[in-house]
Amino acid sequence: MSTRSVEALERALRDLGVRCSVEAFDALAVAVPEPGEQRLQDPDVRRRAIELARAHGFSHLAVELREPGHAPTDRAPLSRD
């Protein structure tokens, strides 16, 4: 998936009110939420987020579950292994 698609989805999710960054793995988009971000608990927001992911070429959208107290950039790079 292109960097452009990742950035576009990230912008679209932020416009939806979901504060997150996006990482891609093939057609999987992983939304990495900022601390305290909980808007994806709202079913309407979730449904819209999935639609946006598809509109930007992703077949799957997952939200990373972060350990409490994590730093915003405290994550390993997404790799195939």
Partner 1 sequence: MRHEPNKPADNQLREKEDSLVRWLRAHGSALVGFSGGVDSAYLACVAVDALGSANVLAVIGKSASYPEAQWAAARDVARRFAVPVLEVNTDELADPRYAANPTNRCYFCKSELWSRLAPIAQDRGLGCVLDGANADDLSDYRPGARAASEWGVLSPLAELGFTKAEIRELSRLRGLPTWRQPSAPCLSSRIPYGMAVTPARLRRVEAAEAALRSLGIEGDLRVRYHGDLARVELPAGDVAQWLAPDAAEQLRAAVAGAGFARVALDLRGFRSGSLNVLGGVRADSPDVADDRRPNEAPAA
List 26, 34, 55, 72, residue binding partner 1 (CB under 8 A): 26
Cα–Cα distance for residue pair 24/3, rounded to 1 Å: 9
Cα–Cα distance for residue pair 45/33, rounded to 1 Å: 14
Kindly identify the residues of this chain, within the stretch 35-74, that bind partner 1 according to CB under 8 A.
Answer: 38, 40-41, 43, 46, 49-50, 59-68
Cα–Cα distance for residue pair 50/79, rounded to 1 Å: 23
Cα–Cα distance for residue pair 5/38, rounded to 1 Å: 23
Q: Between residues 26 and 34, which has the closer beta carbon with respect to partner 1?
A: 26
Please report, as ranges, the residues that interact with partner 1 according to CB under 8 A: 25-28, 30, 38, 40-41, 43, 46, 49-50, 59-68, 75-76, 78-81
